[in-house]
Amino acid sequence: MKETDVGVVGLGAMGLPMARNLILKGFSVTVFDIREAPLKILEPLGARVAHSPKEVAAASSIVLTSLPSSKHVEDVVMGEDGLINGMARGGVIVDTSTIDPAVSRKLAEECRKKGITMIDAPVSGGTVGAEKGTLSIMVGGDKKDVDRCMNVLRAIGVNVYHVGDSGAGQLFKLINNMLVGINLVGVSEAFVLARKAGIDLRLLHSVIKTSAGTSWALEQKLPKMASNDFDPGFRVWLQHKDLALAMSLASQMGAALPMTALAFQMYESAKAMGLQDLDHSAIVKVLQKLSGVESS
């Protein structure tokens, strides 16, 4: 097997464009997802379709995973048909999902017992970054393993940061996503106040974009809120999951995070309102409801 034999398991909003970029950059790519739709897109582009994570692992030196949550990653890595039961000694699993750092460390340890390496490499930059291959990647693991995966990581991202040992990538990513969650609630409040004050939202976007109140959340998501476009993207329930992980981490560390707690409660409300599968910017709908602001 060659280092260019790469697998991808989990072909959703992020995994599908990552796999496409790997194919375009000349890797020999084997893929698996429990849904058929992404397999039908990737096969004509040259991907080999496997029937389980185990089969992907057997055909690959390096396997990327892009799965919703800790439980999904545990199943895909450790299950009977999982990666750990198909991969040859010396293989590497690169988990790009955002999950509990403790689970990352535990899985890396289980893999190590079988002569397999697992590094955590959660990504940031959204579906646009995944499509353009410009993601930021926060990697936790041994330097030699990270260096070995660098060609694969550079095929999906531009900024690759080796931030520490196993689990460290997840810690950085949770802090990033905690800020995204808080910022989106802030942008939603700006939206509601602007609507109440009769301000033109396009003009507001142009002005704040170059002022101190700007953020990725404002630049990317205020226009979507203004046009009532909540196609995902990064879904409400995934943002909720990451805020829950940040809260749990904070509790373990004895850190008080009042703004994160509030953002978490707002996302809890969004889920209770049935918004879980919309883009995370749909948090504005909760704020709209509180202030009686109709959708445009």
The minimum distance between CB 59 and ligand NAD, in angstroms, equals: 15
Q: Is 121 in the site for ligand NAD (CB under 6 A)?
A: no
> In sequence order, what are the beta bridge partners of 138?
161
The minimum distance between CB 141 and ligand NAD, in angstroms, equals: 17
Q: Is 126 in the site for ligand NAD (CB under 6 A)?
A: yes
The residue range among 11-19, 22-30, 210-218, 264-272 that interacts with ligand NAD, by the rule CB under 6 A, is 11-19
Size of the site for ligand NAD (CB under 6 A): 26
Q: Is 279 in the site for ligand NAD (CB under 6 A)?
A: no
Q: Which residue is nearest to ligand NAD (CB)?
A: 12
Following DSSP, what letter does each residue of 192-217 receive, concatenated? HHHHHHT--HHHHHHHHHTSTT--HH
- The secondary structure of residue 235, as a DSSP letter, is B
Is 54 considered catalytic here? Answer: no
> Which listed residue (20, 23, 29, 33) binds ligand NAD by CB under 6 A?
33
Q: Compute how many other C-beta atoms are within 10 angstroms of the C-beta atom of residue 22.
A: 26
SS3 content of the chain, % helix, strand, coil (to 5): 55, 15, 30
Residue 141 makes CB contacts below 8 A (sequence gap 6+) with 108, 117, 118, 119, 120, 121, 162, 165, 166, 169
> Distance (Å, rounded) from C-alpha 48 to C-alpha 50?
7
Phi and psi at residue 278, to the nearest 5°: -85, 170
Q: Is 6 in the site for ligand NAD (CB under 6 A)?
A: no
> Which listed residue (97, 170, 215, 288) binds ligand NAD by CB under 6 A?
97
Q: Which is nearer to ligand NAD, 108 or 204 (CB)?
A: 108
Q: Is the separation of the CB atoms in 17 and 42 below 8 Å?
A: no
Q: Is 237 in the site for ligand NAD (CB under 6 A)?
A: no
**Nearest of 213, 274, 278, 273 to residue 239 by alpha carbon:** 278
> Which listed residue (1, 24, 26, 34) binds ligand NAD by CB under 6 A?
34
Restricting to residues 127-166, which ones interact with ligand NAD according to CB under 6 A? 127
The minimum distance between CB 209 and ligand NAD, in angstroms, equals: 21
Q: Which is nearer to ligand NAD, 180 or 194 (CB)?
A: 180
Q: Is the separation of the CB atoms in 126 and 234 below 8 Å?
A: yes
> Which listed residue (4, 68, 224, 273) binds ligand NAD by CB under 6 A?
68
Q: Which is nearer to ligand NAD, 99 or 286 (CB)?
A: 99
Q: Is the separation of the CB atoms in 244 and 271 below 8 Å?
A: no
> Distance (Å, rounded) from C-alpha 134 to C-alpha 128?
8
User: Looking at the annotation, which residues are catalytic?
Assistant: 173
Provide the binding-site residues for ligand NAD, judged by CB under 6 A. 9-15, 32-35, 66-68, 72, 75-76, 97-98, 123-124, 126-127, 233-234, 238
